[in-house]
Amino acid sequence: MAELVQYLITGVGVGCAYALLGSGLVVIYRVTRVVNFAQGAVAVLAALTVTTLLAAGLPHGLAEGLGVLLAGAAGLLTGLVATGKPGTTPQAALIVTLGLGVLAYAVEILFWGDQPRSFPGLPGATAGVQTHYLLIASVTALVLAATAVLFARTDLGRALTATAEDPYAARIVGIDVARMGLLAFTVGGALGGLAGVLITPVQQVTFDSDVALVVNGFSAAILGNLTRPGLTLAGGLLLGVVQALAGGYWNTSYQTEVALIFMLVVLVVRAGRLSSVETA
């Protein structure tokens, strides 16, 4: 029983990171129709930067905050490179983001080498749960709630939604569609960076950790058709928990595969139910 609880907690922690990263993908996709596959690289970049900042003597909090800011800037840069040229299709932009992800490998190896790195998170345990997992879960809940409020309750959020729903109409009323896209890339990058910074104390990071992060984040986002943040959160948590259970009770080598196959089954079942509703 104690084992199961521990696996669940670990799963929720990792799942939160997937959900954050996936939400970043959703924010970017909704506004620009681009799937940003550099999202995982942005998370890794933020995490590695924090290891260096902490080693340089910066206090916790500040170092992590700077890491997230850097991730936002990296997101903005990704957006500029991938969508800056007017008339770039979302498909072409997607390929550019893949390329940028590979470029990020070179930068990361150059600065940090190819060995796994980590940094300490919140120490200690609260009610038998490692405190850092509580931190991950509460920060995720807070940030995703704030993102939801941004979209639903602020004029900036309405303008982002308007751009997502009808770019032509957005231009007519004077919304700068290109700027909204870059803003989405920045917010998305910051969400990805936050995922990387939160997860690193409980799961070491290497230059190629981005693959697992972005594949899982993407799977989580796909559950919500890349447009629904609530379902993305559910998808992330589901993936994290299934992974933790597969790793705990069976074999850690296959946990990603098991979780992704599980997600595939969920998607197939859901698609079957949706189409049977449509034909009924």
Binding residues for other proteins, per CB under 8 A?
A: 155, 158-159, 161-162, 165-166, 168-175
At residue 117, what are phi and psi to the nearest 5 degrees?
A: -130, 160
Tokens of 220: 């989580």
Closer of 60 and 158 to other proteins (Cβ): 158
Amino acid identity of residue 201, one-letter, is P
| Overall residue count recorded for the chain in this entry | 280
Q: What is the spatial distance between Cα 196 and Cα 183, in angstroms, rounded to a whole number?
A: 20
- For other proteins, which is the closer residue by CB, 86 or 123? 86
Nearer to other proteins, 128 or 174 (CB): 174
Place of tokens 């990058």: 189
**63 within 8 A of 186, measured Cβ to Cβ:** no
C-beta of 138 vs 227, nearer to other proteins: 227
Residue 94 CB, shortest distance to other proteins, in Å, is 24
Nearer to other proteins, 173 or 277 (CB): 173
Q: Which amino acid is at 101?
A: G
Least separation in angstroms between residue 175's CB and other proteins is 5
- Angle between helix axes 90-112 and 39-55 (nearest 10 degrees) is 20
Distance between CA atoms of 104 and 109, rounded to whole angstroms?
Answer: 9
State the nearest-atom distance from the C-beta of 22 to other proteins, in Å.
20
CA neighbor of 222 nearest in space, from 212, 209, 236, 202:
236
Alpha carbon distance 4, 128 (integer Å): 13
Distance of CA 172 to the CA centre of its chain: 32
Q: Quote the least distance from Cβ 86 to other proteins, whole Å.
A: 11
With respect to other proteins, which residue has the nearer C-beta, 183 or 199?
A: 183
Beta carbon of residue 33, minimum distance to other proteins (angstroms, whole number): 16
DSSP per-residue codes, 61-82 = THHHHHHHHHHHHHHHHHHHHH
Beta bridge partner(s), residue 117:
205
Residue 19 CA to residue 221 CA, distance in Å, equals: 8
- Tell the smallest beta-carbon distance from residue 109 to other proteins (Å): 44
What CA–CA distance (Å, rounded) separates 96 from 105?
15
Shortest distance, position 159 Cβ to other proteins, whole Å: 6
Q: Which is nearer to other proteins, 20 or 164 (CB)?
A: 164
Q: Between residues 164 and 191, which has the closer beta carbon with respect to other proteins? A: 164
Q: Shortest gap between Cβ of 148 and other proteins (angstroms)?
A: 14
